[in-house]
């Protein structure tokens, strides 16, 4: 069955969306006046511990921040340290010295890099425990950081596959994934989790500097030779370049109705057969999960346990191309009530 | 609603103040009766369904014509919102009681006002006694400070480390990610999680049951506006709240 209504001519729409939305790092900064209103802290109360939220003041971080403040505000003084584009390690050092927080919440890639830089500048200094959120591949990034835990930003394949099962009538048992060689350990960990749900993740590695041919051949292998039930796309910008989308992904998927699970909502577009379902972290719930980590630290006198572990995000958002699902895979009767955003 | 609870018909006002209060109460009653004729009664609901909160809200509202239904998924939001003094608030009985409210209308499943809870785990069933020193996943329905006592009561004494989530759906990832030795939830939610998952999920029934949803009203007017509608709301409304009748 050919997906004739979905043509390559619509690909620029997807690329436009991708250029705005494919990065894991939030970008749209809230205008100063609005930001001041949206991220305003309550006055500090004496005798309470302080939790500092080190965050860019952006629309993408607003839901997370709101949940953190709501959950933590009853017990702690919550102080927001805006990490604007000009903020660096000196600014952060000044703020930490001023606030003397018992714990910090580090939000986004850039803030994490500044925090890491500050720790490197002060190798013998004591830092409060940190909860790191909204950063890429945290399991790797957290390695060199002292006194830190956090929540990964990437939605595990198993959560995405369960989400696909919830909306489509397909029997999903084998899911293909193309990944760069350097992500082999990430994909292996995902395969273990997926196996619990009786799903076999079928990986195909491409070089770390992949050519369009390598990606296209790998996709062909998964879709044609392996006949997988669905594809899961790793959030790896190097595999989702405009060139690879146009020359590798879209040509392979154009005539093959196979569900494609992506991690960026901009990749689900009704005019382009690429993302069938986007599964992304729910930022408000990510804030609740991060707040629970802070409470756990407080219960442990602000000490991290010896076994430092990065949690996985528990709650996801789903954006679904319902027409694609309905036309080719069968939409479950109650699906519309369960998905967060229907793309038609 | 903590504040509202003081407005519920209770004999709490000291006798000496009663005559002074009478005039004020009468005036307020007159005003609220006047307003009540034109204002849509509000029902605040703290409950989870196997769908988005907005979809759940729409579904409930469709079954309660003329009622403005708002669904809350987090206890802090619900507790704060009760300060708006809605005409009615619906939540599991232990939630209302923990907030100092006295339910006036109780949901029943058959003739029971409580439901069975279970421990759910992956591959091997877990008993409460085996949870000591381990992590148990639980939906935070009372706020962290009150939850330990609640869970201890449901488990019959065991006190594992609790891992909180805000929705029963989030309990499944805790088991998938091996982030908890077990999760505790109602038998009906355990059935729903089984339908979603291919995991080998095992359950252990618990002896101590938990109160089903109940309703408090902020005033006699609130009760008169909502009580009959809730009692006669119909099967879809009741099913989504896990009850079969209200009394």
Averages of pLDDT over each 10 residues, chain A, 344 residues? 39 50 47 57 90 95 95 95 92 96 97 96 95 94 91 96 94 97 95 96 97 96 96 94 93 89 93 91 96 95 82 96 92 93 90
Look at residue A31 in the predicted model and tell me its pLDDT: 54
Residues B105 and B166 occupy one common structural domain: no
3-state secondary structure of A214: helix
User: Which residue range is the domain that position B59 belongs to?
Assistant: 2-111+212-246
Span B91-116, average pLDDT: 97
Look at residue A318 in the predicted model and tell me its pLDDT: 96
3-state secondary structure of A303: coil
Separation of alpha carbons A225 and A209, rounded Å? 24
Query: Do B52 and A285 lie within an 8 Å CB cutoff?
Result: no
Domain segments of chain A as ranges: 8-23+155-280+317-343, 32-153+283-311
Q: By the CB < 8 Å criterion, does B33 face chain A?
A: no
Residues B184 and B216 occupy one common structural domain: no
The yes/no answer on whether domain A8-23+155-280+317-343 falls in CATH 3.60.20.10 is no
First and final C-alpha spacing in chain B: 22
How deeply is B110 buried, as exposed, middle or buried, from its count of CB atoms within 10 A (0-12, 13-18, 19+)?
Answer: exposed
Residues B103 and B127 occupy one common structural domain: no
Here the tokens at position B65 are 């014509």
Domains: count for chain B: 2
Residues B218 and B241 occupy one common structural domain: yes
Residues B217 and B196 occupy one common structural domain: no
Indicate which of A70, A192, A196 best probes the interface with B, i.e. most B CBs within 10 Å of its own CB. Answer: A196
- Give yes or no for residue B33 having a pLDDT over 80: no
Instruction: Determine how β-strand A103-107 pairs with β-strand B245-246.
Output: unpaired
Residues of B in contact with A166 (CB under 8 A): 196
- Distance (Å) of CA B142 to CA A45, A282, B47, B99: 24, 22, 12, 8
- Give yes or no for residue B2 having a pLDDT over 60: no
The order of strands in the sheet holding B182-186 is B161-165, B135-139, B182-186, B117-122, B201-205
Residues B159 and B219 occupy one common structural domain: no
- For A293, the closest chain B residue by CA position comes to B163
Separation of alpha carbons A297 and A269, rounded Å? 42
The answer to whether domain A8-23+155-280+317-343 and domain A32-153+283-311 are alike in fold is yes
CATH number of A32-153+283-311: 3.40.50.2300
Q: Is the ipTM of this complex over 0.95?
A: no
DSSP strand E in chain B: where?
Answer: 42-46, 68-72, 88-92, 105-108, 114-115, 117-122, 135-139, 161-165, 182-186, 201-205, 210-211, 213-217, 245-246
B 110-169 residues inside an 8 A Cβ radius of A: 122, 144, 163-167, 169
Look at residue B37 in the predicted model and tell me its pLDDT: 44
Separation of alpha carbons A105 and B181, rounded Å? 27
Query: Do A159 and B173 lie within an 8 Å CB cutoff?
Result: yes
Query: Do A196 and B122 lie within an 8 Å CB cutoff?
Result: yes
Look at residue B28 in the predicted model and tell me its pLDDT: 37
How deeply is A290 buried, as exposed, middle or buried, from its count of CB atoms within 10 A (0-12, 13-18, 19+)?
Answer: buried
Look at residue A143 in the predicted model and tell me its pLDDT: 84
Residues B168 and B184 occupy one common structural domain: yes
Residues B4-26 pLDDT 10s: 333 333 333 343 444 444 443 44
Look at residue A15 in the predicted model and tell me its pLDDT: 56
List the CATH number of the domain containing B184: 3.40.190.10
Residues B20 and B103 occupy one common structural domain: yes
Look at residue B39 in the predicted model and tell me its pLDDT: 82
Considering only CB atoms, which residues of chain A are within 8 Å of chain B? 70-71, 74, 156, 158-159, 162, 165-166, 193, 196-199, 285, 288, 292, 295, 311-312, 314-315, 334, 336-340
Indicate which of B62, B143, B177, B178 best probes the interface with A, i.e. most A CBs within 10 Å of its own CB. Answer: B177
Q: Cβ neighbours of residue A13 under 8 Å, at least 6 residues apart?
A: A269, A271, A272
Look at residue A308 in the predicted model and tell me its pLDDT: 63
Separation of alpha carbons B195 and A143, rounded Å? 38
Percentage of residues in chain B having pLDDT higher than 70: 85
3-state secondary structure of B12: coil
Residues B107 and B220 occupy one common structural domain: yes
- For B171, the closest chain A residue by CA position comes to A314
Query: Do A314 and B170 lie within an 8 Å CB cutoff?
Result: yes
Residues B62 and B178 occupy one common structural domain: no
Residues of B in contact with A315 (CB under 8 A): 165-167, 169-170
- Give yes or no for residue B49 having a pLDDT over 70: yes
pTM exceeds cut of 0.95: no
Q: C-alpha angle A24/A26/A32, rounded to 5°?
A: 175
Look at residue A30 in the predicted model and tell me its pLDDT: 55
- Give yes or no for residue B109 having a pLDDT over 90: yes
């Amino acid at each position: 069955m050919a997906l004739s209504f979905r043509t390559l001519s619509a690909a620029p729409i997807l690329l436009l969306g991708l250029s705005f939305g494919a990065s894991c790092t939030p970008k749209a900064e809230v205008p100063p006046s609005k930001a001041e209103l949206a991220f305003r802290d309550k006055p500090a109360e004496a005798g309470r511990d302080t939790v500092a939220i080190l965050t860019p003041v952006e629309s993408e971080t607003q839901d997370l921040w709101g949940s953190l403040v709501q959950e933590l505000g009853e017990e702690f003084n919550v102080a927001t340290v805006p990490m604007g584009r000009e903020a660096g390690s000196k600014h952060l050092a000044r703020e930490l010295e001023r606030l003397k927080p018992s714990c910090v919440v580090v939000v986004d890639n850039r803030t994490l890099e500044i925090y890491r830089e500050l720790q490197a500048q002060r190798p013998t200094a004591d830092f409060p425990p940190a909860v790191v959120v909204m950063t890429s591949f945290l399991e790797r990034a957290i390695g060199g950081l002292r006194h830190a835990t956090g929540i990964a930003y990437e939605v595990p394949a198993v959560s995405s596959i369960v989400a696909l099962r919830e909306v489509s009538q397909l029997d999903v048992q084998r899911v293909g994934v193309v990944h760069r060689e350097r992500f082999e350990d990430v994909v292996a960990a995902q395969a273990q989790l997926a196996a619990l749900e009786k799903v076999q993740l079928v990986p195909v590695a491409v070089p770390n500097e992949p050519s369009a041919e390598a990606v296209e051949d790998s996709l062909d292998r998964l879709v044609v030779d392996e006949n997988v039930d669905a594809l899961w796309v790793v959030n790896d910008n190097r595999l989702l370049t405009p060139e690879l989308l146009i020359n590798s992904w879209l040509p392979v998927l154009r005539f093959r109705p196979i569900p494609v699970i992506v991690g960026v909502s901009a990749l689900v577009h009704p005019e382009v057969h690429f993302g069938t379902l986007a599964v992304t972290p729910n930022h408000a719930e990510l804030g609740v999960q991060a707040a629970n980590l802070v409470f756990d630290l407080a219960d442990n006198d602000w000490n991290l346990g010896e076994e430092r572990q990065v949690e996985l995000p528990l709650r996801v958002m789903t954006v679904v191309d319902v027409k694609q699902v309905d036309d080719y895979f069968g939409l479950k009767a109650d699906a519309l009530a369960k998905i967060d955003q229907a793309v038609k | 609603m903590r504040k509202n609870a003081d407005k519920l018909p209770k004999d709490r006002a000291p006798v000496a103040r009663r005559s002074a209060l009478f005039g004020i109460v009468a005036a307020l009653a007159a005003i609220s009766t006047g307003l009540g004729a034109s204002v849509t009664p509000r029902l605040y609901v703290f409950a989870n369904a196997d769908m988005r909160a907005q979809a759940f809200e729409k579904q409930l509202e469709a079954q309660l014509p003329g009622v403005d239904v708002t669904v809350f998924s987090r206890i802090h939001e619900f507790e704060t919102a009760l300060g708006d003094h809605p005409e009615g608030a619906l939540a599991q009985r232990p939630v209302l009681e923990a907030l100092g409210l006295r339910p006036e209308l109780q949901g029943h499943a058959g003739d029971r006002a409580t439901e069975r809870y279970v421990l759910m785990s992956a591959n091997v069933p877990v008993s409460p006694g085996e949870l000591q020193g381990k992590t148990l996943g639980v939906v935070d329905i009372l706020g962290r400070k009150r939850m330990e006592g609640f869970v201890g009561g449901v488990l019959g004494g065991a006190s594992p480390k609790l891992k909180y989530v805000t929705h029963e759906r989030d309990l499944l990832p805790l088991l998938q990610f091996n982030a908890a030795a077990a999760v505790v939830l109602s038998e009906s939610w355990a059935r729903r999680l089984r339908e979603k998952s291919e995991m080998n999920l095992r359950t252990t029934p618990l002896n101590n049951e938990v109160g089903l949803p109940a309703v408090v009203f902020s005033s006699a007017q609130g009760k008169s506006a909502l009580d009959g509608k809730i009692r006669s709301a119909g099967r879809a409304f009741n099913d989504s709240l896990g009850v079969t009748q209200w009394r």
